[in-house]
Structure 1
Amino acid sequence: METIINYFETIPSAHRSMILVGGITFFWLLEGSVPLFGFKYNKWKHAWPNLFFTATTVIINFVLAFLLLRTADWVQANNFGLINWLPEMPLWLYVLLGVLFLDFFGAYLAHLVEHKVKPLWMVHLVHHSDHKVDTTTANRHHPIESVIRFTFTLLGVFLVGTPIGIIMLYQSMSLIFTQFTHANIKMPRKLDKLISFIFVSPDMHKVHHHNLLPYTDSNYGNIFSIWDRLLGTYMELDREKIVYGVDTFPDEAKNSSLQELLKQPFQGYRKPTNMEELK
């Protein structure tokens, strides 16, 4: 474990890029072999806006990375944060708790708030308005959302007290998991269900991309499913019944246009509050 943390403390940018590109490439090819849905689409054309938003996310995180580094250095120098206030523990447990709590603040909590606060939902809508969810959808986040997500991660680093090695490990795991759970792959149901008891599985996350409430407002987790299960936001839906997109924002042509997606957060859309409004 010490070797792993030492590696992620100084992980080269080239290696992080390899994780990103390698993950997209692997799941892109896997989708062609074992697809969940037989989408009739030009995969490259569909991927274009999603890859554009992936690039803007990378740029924003790169520009703001110094804030993570300074915060990580400060919490370590001052022995601040949840995992530093606990009794002494083995390194593996220290790392596990660090990743687990970062997953709560940087992914689950951020995601939940984006669904509950209307202006933030309008920004997050860009991610949900993809009608053909595949591995390229993973980082389909408006630049404003990238800043929001980074802010929550920074808050997590401060409150949890994680050193930079754990932060880089968490971000690498988060990247792979989000590519995995969005990928258009068909896993054996029993295996997917087994995975979902601890980790977010593809079928579990795809429920979140269903176009109707209350399913849209469920399964917020990214790496660990524990937060959804503990906090009552876990839901199940037969994967064959899932319809992607947002029911009240149905124009697939607009939802596939980069220009329209960049404007989407500023449009006058009202999210329904109950099932009656969807009838």
Structure 2
Amino acid sequence: MIEFLENLSYIERLFVLLSISLIVWNIEVIYAFKPISDKRKHLFENIKFITLGIPAQLVMGSVLNLSLEFNDKNLFGLIEWFSIKNNWINLIVSFLLLDFFEYIYHIFMHKFRPFWVFHLVHHSEQKLDISTILREHPIETIIRLSFTTLWVLITGVHFWMYVVRQLIQVISNLLAHGNFRLTNNADKIVSLLFVTPNMHHVHHHFKLPHTDSNYGDVLSIWDRLFGTYKKINANHLVFGIDTEMCANKIYDFKTIIMLPFKHLNSKPETINTNE
């Protein structure tokens, strides 16, 4: 399995992820929580964000790849420090470490104002669906991949472990942002361990304190352990950010890209933040 994952081509990984996206897309169409009038237009609006971020993805992706190569050659980081010989246990330990660090990263993005002003581009989405995962400001892409590189070096995770983690992470994020919900009974069980759409929808509610809750990436255990888990009645959910609820402004691409710079020069109380 390790050899297979290490030799998985970019095209093969892309095919797997696109197939999963198509499945989730159709689930949204059939079981939409909040119907979106023009899903294709909404998709193309969010594609603009990921397209603009391609240069940042390429540069930071290369840096991340170098850090993975460094780990493979130098046997560096916590994984090596633990001296665990079993690959399956190493995979589980590395997954838990990376997921915990992603939880910490997400809190940083909300609590540290210079980071939050870029992260609010993602949160300004008022029509949450799987395409929302594409809605990321290019500067947040740089911040995110910088932290990911740091986590990779600290943990000492190897390339094949990272590939497994990334595949699970993308699937989880697609499902978590999906415009559908689990039944209450199913959610009670699944959300004990994993982030569900029901749980992540609360994180995208437009008002504090719910915006600052449910930070988990794949696993929900960190929110439960550290007291950041919250629930809200589905009928009360409103997606977006309370200071940026003008639809015309939010869906004007140039305006939303420049929004962080406007907030960098504003008083902290003018944006949805605890500072």
Superposition TM-score, scaled by structure 1 size: 0.90
The question of 1:235 aligning with 2:230 is answered yes
Answer yes or no: is the 8 Å Cα contact 1:101–1:160 preserved in 2.
Answer: yes
Q: 2:70 aligns with which of 60, 71, 74?
A: 74
Displacement after TM superposition at 1:58 (Å): 5.5
C-alpha separation in 2, matches of 1:67 and 1:127? 24
The question of 1:258 aligning with 2:253 is answered yes
Paired residue for 1:191?
186
- Once the two structures are overlaid, the 10-residue window that deviates more, 89-98 or 155-164, is 89-98
Displacement after TM superposition at 1:104 (Å): 2.3
- Once the two structures are overlaid, the 10-residue window that deviates more, 121-130 or 11-20, is 11-20
The one-letter amino acid of 1:93's match is I
The question of 1:110 aligning with 2:129 is answered no
Paired residue for 2:26?
29
Answer yes or no: is the 8 Å Cα contact 1:135–1:183 preserved in 2.
Answer: yes
The question of 1:173 aligning with 2:168 is answered yes
Paired residue for 2:218?
223
**Any stretches of 5+ residues in structure 1 without a counterpart?**
275-279
Answer yes or no: is the 8 Å Cα contact 1:57–1:139 preserved in 2.
Answer: no
Paired residue for 1:277?
none
Matched ranges for 1:1-279 at <5 A: 3=1, 5-39=2-36, 41-57=37-53, 60-105=56-101, 107-268=102-263, 270-272=270-272
The one-letter amino acid of 2:155's match is V
The one-letter amino acid of 2:66's match is R
The one-letter amino acid of 2:62's match is F
Answer yes or no: is the 8 Å Cα contact 1:81–1:158 preserved in 2.
Answer: yes
Displacement after TM superposition at 1:31 (Å): 0.6
Displacement after TM superposition at 1:21 (Å): 2.2
3-state SS in 2 of match to 1:265: helix
Seq. identity, %: 35
3-state SS in 1 of match to 2:193: coil
Answer yes or no: is the 8 Å Cα contact 1:24–1:136 preserved in 2.
Answer: no
Displacement after TM superposition at 1:57 (Å): 4.8
Displacement after TM superposition at 1:149 (Å): 0.7
The one-letter amino acid of 2:256's match is L
C-alpha separation in 2, matches of 1:19 and 1:54? 19
C-alpha separation in 2, matches of 1:109 and 1:97? 17
Displacement after TM superposition at 1:119 (Å): 1.6
CA change 1:55–1:165 in 2 (3 A) is farther
The one-letter amino acid of 1:96's match is I
Equivalent residue pairs, number: 269
Answer yes or no: is the 8 Å Cα contact 2:111–2:273 preserved in 1.
Answer: no
Residues 170-225 of structure 1: CA deviation (Å, up to 9, x unaligned) = 12211111111001013211112211111111100110000110000011111111
The one-letter amino acid of 2:11's match is A
CA change 1:48–1:34 in 2 (3 A) is same
3-state SS in 1 of match to 2:29: helix
3-state SS in 2 of match to 1:217: coil
CA change 1:249–1:95 in 2 (3 A) is same
Answer yes or no: is the 8 Å Cα contact 2:121–2:259 preserved in 1.
Answer: yes
3-state SS in 1 of match to 2:245: coil
Task: Flag as ranges the 4+ runs of structure 1 deviating above 4 A.
Answer: 56-59
3-state SS in 2 of match to 1:254: helix
Cα RMSD after superposing both structures: 1.8
CA change 1:241–1:89 in 2 (3 A) is farther
C-alpha separation in 2, matches of 1:239 and 1:56? 33
C-alpha separation in 1, matches of 2:154 and 2:86? 20
Displacement after TM superposition at 1:135 (Å): 0.8
CA change 1:55–1:195 in 2 (3 A) is farther
